[in-house]
Amino acid sequence: MGPGARASSATGSEARGPAEDRGPSSFGPDPLATSRERIPTVVFDDHEALARAVAQRIARVIRDRAAAGQRAVLGLATGSTPLGVYRELVRLHREEGLGFRDVVTFNLDEYFPIDPQNRHSYHRFMWEQLFAHVDIDPANVHLPRGDLPRTDVAGACADYERAIERAGGIDFQILGIGKTGHIGFNEPGSGAASRTRLVTLDTITRRDAAADFFGEENVPREAVTMGVATILAAREVAILATGEHKASIVRRAVEGEVDLQVAATFLQRHPATTFYVDRPAAAELARFATPWLVDEVTWTDALAERAVTWLSLRTGRGILKLTYQDYADHHLSSLVARYGSAGDINGMVFNRLGARIRGRSRLPAGQRIVCFSPHPDDDVISMGGILRKLVLNGNRITVAYMTSGNVAVFDHDVRRYLDWLVRIAGVQELEAAAVTALRDRVLAFLAAKQPGDVDSPEVLDLKRAIREAEAVSGLEVIGLGRREARFLDLPFYRTGRVRKDPIGPADVAIVRQLLEELDPDLVFVAGDLSDPHGTHRMCKDAIDQALAGLTRRPETWLYRGAWQEWSVTDATWLVPLSQDELRLKIQAIFKHQSQKDSAPFPGLDDREFWQRVEARNMETAAVLDRLGLAEYFAMEAYVVA
């Protein structure tokens, strides 16, 4: 069946599969989900609600098959996206008696070559995240082999296909989606008829995995993966995506044409596929980005503002220069009718956007303020400009660094600081024996360290100290210092690996204690959910839980980090920066020397953090200029939660 047959895309109860399992937190049903969406798409408030819905659907499959006297056969995926699903399945097993004894599983893929016990192997991932915590029979667990001689791989792949066939086929297949649109490791160019096989990984895929392997050079170049045809043979498919960084590829997979270069688009031909996404990942779908182009809408001031801003940027005319014909040519006549005339709607939107601009005189003064910084540089990267203004306004500011950021320090920085320490000990005639012994122990550990190994506690402490010193140096540039810095070192981060533990009561208690001690009037929180490691999202979760327990809740402003910026229509406040203020902000970023020149985890953007900040802040100001508002050199954006 071709894409043209998929005329009914939906949210909630209209999507394929038992919608009653999806819960009330999904966005749906939604009349704006039309034939533009070639894969039924369910949108959730957050990734936790998404995980619960998918886990409940899996539980229903398991129970229904058991009631029919048959075994459920599950196709499973790895990576950060399905982690919440597996945690919820473990909870369902422990608290609600969901049984896995007769469940058969087949995993999508595995790196090659890789030992099953390697900390980066998907074999180990599945046992640590799911299998070891439920009553599944190990004989029913199937994972592609990444430890075979190359000459044996083709035969093992054929055996894998036969094992799926003997099991009766896959009842329910979980997928994630990569930035290239790959499903499993079916990279661009993978054909619809492909089966389980050895593939070469795309450059973007390897860069995306670089953080887990502590460097792209350590990521395997090949993998064993189920093919597109293997996936399409499953009776039901759930494809999951969370975060703003997936929004573009979600739109391409859901609304674009079937394309050999985007494997996920082949799912348009599957009769029972559902996309499960959170709101950030759905942001570029037409029903959210431009709903007025999809169907009739009920105009509100906020929606009108988005539409007029879109029209202004699309036509290249300032807001106050838009004419009735501009609106008519772009299917926005109903908007003009709602507000009376083009001049009326132009003026309303122009004034709404202009009212968001807040210079120093309109910012808080004489208040108690806490800036929560997930890593020891997010404060100056994201809000270095406003921090300087708030200092000048006489506010009492505390910057709370929530994690040590120690996994993001290169080993060569540790060697450099150890050499400095030994030299200082010699110059100052300090007790050199302890310093030399520390140096020798650490250098011996680093010499024996293999790519991806977790650092020793001693090395982690040194890396933490490096980042703390850099953070204080950055604060000094904007007029604060070590007295205003608090290093919370939340426990969830202390794994020594990129993948962290879930937020727990100890993390929340530390944040709440700080809030109760300082009793702030205003807090700044990272709302950048595109952080590729998830640390920003987890820190926000800890803050939200801590704030919920307070008698007096402070006002909360959300900023974004190095990955995204609020749009001018999403932002509550737009804070202009002069050329000198932007330069000062960049100087503060420069103090984080371990993250400069070549950051350990830069994501897919090759630019340094200061370059991203400069471009992003200047572009926000440039958007206002193109809309015909006041012209500024640069601008930061904030949302009041």
Is the pLDDT score of 399 beyond 60? yes
Per annotation, catalytic residue among 88, 110, 161, 187: 187
How many other C-beta atoms can be found within 10 angstroms of the C-beta atom of residue 228? Answer: 24
pLDDT digits (tens, 9 = 90+) for 125-184: 999 999 999 999 999 999 999 999 999 999 999 999 999 999 999 999 999 998 889 999
pLDDT digits (tens, 9 = 90+) for 300-323: 999 999 999 999 999 999 999 999
Kindly give the pairing relationship between strand 273-278 and strand 41-44. Answer: parallel
What pLDDT does 502 receive?
85
The verdict on domain 3-288 having CATH code 3.40.50.720 is no
Residue 78 dihedral angles phi and psi, to the nearest 5°: -120, -170
Identify which of 214, 223, 231, 237 has the alpha carbon closest to the alpha carbon of residue 599.
214
Start and end residues for every CATH 3.40.50.10320 domain found in the chain: 362-410+462-640
pLDDT-derived band at 498, boundaries 50, 70, 90: low
What pLDDT does 123 receive?
96
pLDDT digits (tens, 9 = 90+) for 556-611: 999 986 678 899 999 999 999 999 999 999 999 999 999 987 765 555 677 888 99
What pLDDT does 370 receive?
98
Q: Considering only 17-26, 76-85, 552-561, which range has the smallest mean pLDDT?
A: 17-26
Count H helices and E strands in the chain, helices first: 20, 18
What pLDDT does 577 receive?
98
Start and end residues for every CATH 3.40.50.1360 domain found in the chain: 3-288
What is the value of pTM for the model shown?
0.83
pLDDT digits (tens, 9 = 90+) for 50-62: 999 999 999 999 9
Mean pLDDT taken over the chain: 90
Is the pLDDT score of 334 beyond 90? yes
pLDDT-derived band at 11, boundaries 50, 70, 90: very low
How far is 345 from 308, CA to CA, in rounded Å? 8
How far is 566 from 559, CA to CA, in rounded Å? 8
Complete DSSP assignment for 386-444: HHHHHHHTT-EEEEEE-S--GGGS-HHHHHHHHHHHHHHHHHTT--HHHHHHHHHHHHH
Is 236 tagged catalytic? Answer: no
Mean pLDDT in residue range 390-403: 98
Using CA atoms, how far residue 303 sits from 300, 401, 411, 569, in Å, is: 5, 36, 50, 9
Give me the CATH topology for the region 362-410+462-640.
Rossmann fold (3.40.50)
What pLDDT does 6 receive?
35
pLDDT-derived band at 14, boundaries 50, 70, 90: very low
pLDDT-derived band at 534, boundaries 50, 70, 90: confident
